[in-house]
């Protein structure tokens, strides 16, 4: 069952841990949806304050493809309707080229 309060608490904990990781010079990945520019700005600014380079990797797919993926995995409860997915897509603020220019270029790590 979707629980907004729990999701918020989990993301807050993840961000707190991420800041600790960045503060010692290590790398961290935030892998949750940042739906609006103001949210991405806040994360970028804080990470830079901690001395971190900040990359934004943005992937997009048509709503029809996203809906097929959601339907295929059958993990959401309650299930997400196509109408809800369209509402989510409309609410999302995709990064503009100007915003993308505020982030660092991706670095390659040899393993």
> 69 in a domain, yes or no?
yes
Q: What's the number of CA atoms in the CB half-sphere (13 Å) around residue 38?
A: 0
Question: What pTM, to 2 d.p., does this model score?
Answer: 0.83
Domain range holding 45?
A: 4-100
**Residue 47: Cβ within 10 Å count:** 19
Q: Let me know if residue 25 belongs to a domain.
A: yes
For residue range 4-32, list pLDDT tens digits in order.
889 899 999 999 999 999 999 999 999 88
Is the residue at 19 inside a domain? yes
Contact assessment for residue 40 and residue 56, using Cβ atoms and an 8 Å cutoff = yes
Domain membership of residue 64 (yes or no) is: yes
- Per-residue pLDDT of 34-81, as tens digits, reads 999 999 999 999 999 999 999 999 999 999 999 999 999 999 888 999
């Amino acid at each position: 069952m979707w629980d907004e309060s729990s999701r918020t608490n989990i993301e807050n904990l993840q961000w707190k841990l991420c800041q600790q990781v960045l503060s010692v010079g290590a790398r961290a990945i935030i892998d949750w949806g940042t739906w609006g520019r103001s949210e991405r700005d806040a994360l970028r600014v804080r990470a830079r304050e901690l001395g971190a380079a900040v990359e934004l990797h943005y992937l997009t797919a048509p709503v029809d493809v996203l809906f097929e993926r959601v339907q295929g995995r059958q993990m959401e409860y309650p299930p997400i309707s196509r109408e809800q997915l369209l509402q989510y897509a409309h609410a999302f603020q995709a990064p503009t080229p100007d915003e993308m220019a505020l982030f660092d270029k991706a670095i390659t790590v040899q393993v």
